[in-house]
Amino acid sequence: MTSTRSAEGRVLFVYPGGPERDLYLSALAEAGFATSGEATVMDAAALLQMEAPPDVIVMELLPAPAEAWAFIERRCADAPDVPLIILTSLIRPDRANRRKARALGWIV
């Protein structure tokens, strides 16, 4: 887990390891946001049980899309006022990800 403190807001960033993750976390921290970086949905769920909800959740659907969508559905039910941003390289020609996000109340 990577964590920084700030007054701008708290971001939970759920993204598997790699250089992109480090770039996103650095950019968020430099912009003044407190960040918690988790590599898996399970780690993020555990963190949310221990801490107050963040101001926003940003996450990647890969490497486990089914787990990610289950996490998203739970978060939408448990904390509908916490915005969730999906960053993903899981592109589907049938636009299933967009339809699923819209069904949960997100406009994409």
Q: Which domains does the chain show, CATH number per domain?
A: 2-103 (3.40.50.2300)
- In our burial notation (b when 16+ CB lie closer than 10 A, e otherwise), range 60-91 reads bbeeebeebbebbeebbeeeeeeebebeeeee
Instruction: Provide the b/e sequence for 7-19 (b: ≥16 CB within 10 Å).
Output: eeebbbbbbeeee
Global confidence as pTM: 0.79
Average pLDDT, the chain: 84
CA R_g for the chain: 13
pLDDT tens digit string along 16-34?
A: 988 888 999 999 999 999 9
